[in-house]
């Protein structure tokens, strides 16, 4: 496993069958680590399958070093933005065309991948059930505790939409936000202008995020892409209702109970009068599509096919 994204690779490795040997080649964002450092580690690696996260330099290096079979795993930004970049676009296109297999983590980028690879497949992101599991709501005041859990990014996450919706019901909610994202300061300024108090939470390690979810009554994710990120999946697995824009355009989400939610008025109305069964229905969806018992066998099938094709 080369690199990672949102702990997807780490979770996949964690739940592989015990008879499969595994190695996780990680890197930091430091210049040496993400160039010569990762190249040296990949060069020394010996495996039957190489699985690279993000269709960027890690995957490109493995490709150039002749590591086969190579699975390129796209996670969104590589196909949404890097593909259009003057420099990175060439790297992404090369990986799309030359990997033995291409996987995508969300349905909204599948069509983009299929332009270059007709055999590209959607692999649902797995949720680590040892970390993210339901707990009863703790006693609290009359206001609904709302957590804005995704990064503050207006273009990608639609954080401004969430803030505007919550401001409409400011007297009924107690809102927390995790201090991360390119638009975090802008988000705070917007909330102040709308008289919406925000409780700022510090970033936590991935293994501790469950505490933030358990302390919320409702979790807010993103409202722009039409697909679910790990925030949604992990919060739902913690037994909390999640408000997120899931587009009915994608058949992969046909079982998800809440679709096409991106209007401020509708978001505010849902928070104020939360359907009692929403968290239960969302949890059933995650159990059906995103638990390791479902995702890992699908991945092993891909591994097996890639190995057999090179024999």
DSSP E strands in 123-163: the ranges are: 144-148
Q: Could you give the CA distance from residue 214 to residue 203 in angstroms, rounded to a whole number?
A: 15
Q: Which two tokens stand for residue 282?
A: 């969302």
CATH number of 144-289: 3.40.50.2000
Q: Is-same-fold flag (8-124+291-309; 144-289)?
A: yes
pTM confidence score? 0.95
Domain 8-124+291-309 listed as CATH 3.40.1280.10 = no
Please report the pLDDT score of residue 31 as a whole number.
Answer: 78
**Exposure of 269 by Cβ count < 10 A (0-12 exposed, 13-18 middle, 19+ buried)?**
middle
Sequence spans of domains, the chain: 8-124+291-309, 144-289
Helix (H, G, I), strand (E, B) or coil at 118: coil
Under 8 Å between Cβ of 162 and 220: yes
Element (H, E) at 52: strand 50-53
In a structure prediction context, what are the per-residue pLDDT tens digits for the chain, which is 311 residues long? 999 999 999 999 999 999 999 999 998 878 777 888 899 999 999 999 999 999 999 999 999 999 999 999 999 999 999 999 989 999 999 999 999 999 999 999 999 999 999 999 999 999 999 999 999 988 788 899 999 999 999 999 999 999 999 999 999 999 999 999 999 999 999 999 999 999 999 999 999 999 999 999 999 999 999 999 999 999 999 999 999 999 999 999 999 999 999 999 999 999 999 998 999 999 999 999 999 999 999 999 999 999 999 88
Please report the pLDDT score of residue 41 as a whole number.
Answer: 95
Q: Could you give the CA distance from residue 137 to residue 215 in angstroms, rounded to a whole number?
A: 7
């Amino acid at each position: 496993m080369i690199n990672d994204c949102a702990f997807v690779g780490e979770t996949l490795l964690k739940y592989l069958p015990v008879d499969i040997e595994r190695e996780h080649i990680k890197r930091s964002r430091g210049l040496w680590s993400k160039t010569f450092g990762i190249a040296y580690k990949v060069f020394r690696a010996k495996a039957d399958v190489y699985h690279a996260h993000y269709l960027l330099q890690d995957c490109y290096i493995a490709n150039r070093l002749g590591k086969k079979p190579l699975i390129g795993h796209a996670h969104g930004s590589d196909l949404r933005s890097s593909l259009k970049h003057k420099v990175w676009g060439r790297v992404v296109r090369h990986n799309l065309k030359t990997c033995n297999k291409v996987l995508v983590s969300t349905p909204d980028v599948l069509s983009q991948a299929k332009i270059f690879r007709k055999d590209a497949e959607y692999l649902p992101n797995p949720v680590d059930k040892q970390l993210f599991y339901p707990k009863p709501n703790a006693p609290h005041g009359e206001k609904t505790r709302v957590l804005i859990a995704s990064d503050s990014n207006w273009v990608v996450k639609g954080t401004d939409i969430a803030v505007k919706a919550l401001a409409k019901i400011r007297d009924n909610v107690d809102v927390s936000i995790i201090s991360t994202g390119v638009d975090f300061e802008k988000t705070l300024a917007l909330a102040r202008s709308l008289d919406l108090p925000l409780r700022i939470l510090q970033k936590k390690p991935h293994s501790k995020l469950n505490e933030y979810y358990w302390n919320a009554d409702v979790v807010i994710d993103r409202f722009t892409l039409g697909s679910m990120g790990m925030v949604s999946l992990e919060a739902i697995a913690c037994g909390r209702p999640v408000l997120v824009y899931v587009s009915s355009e994608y058949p992969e989400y046909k079982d998800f109970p809440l679709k096409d939610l991106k209007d401020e008025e509708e978001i505010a109305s849902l928070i104020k009068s939360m359907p009692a069964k929403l968290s239960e229905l969302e949890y059933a969806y995650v159990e059906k599509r995103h638990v390791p018992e479902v995702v890992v066998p699908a991945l092993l099938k891909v591994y097996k096919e890639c190995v057999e094709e090179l024999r």
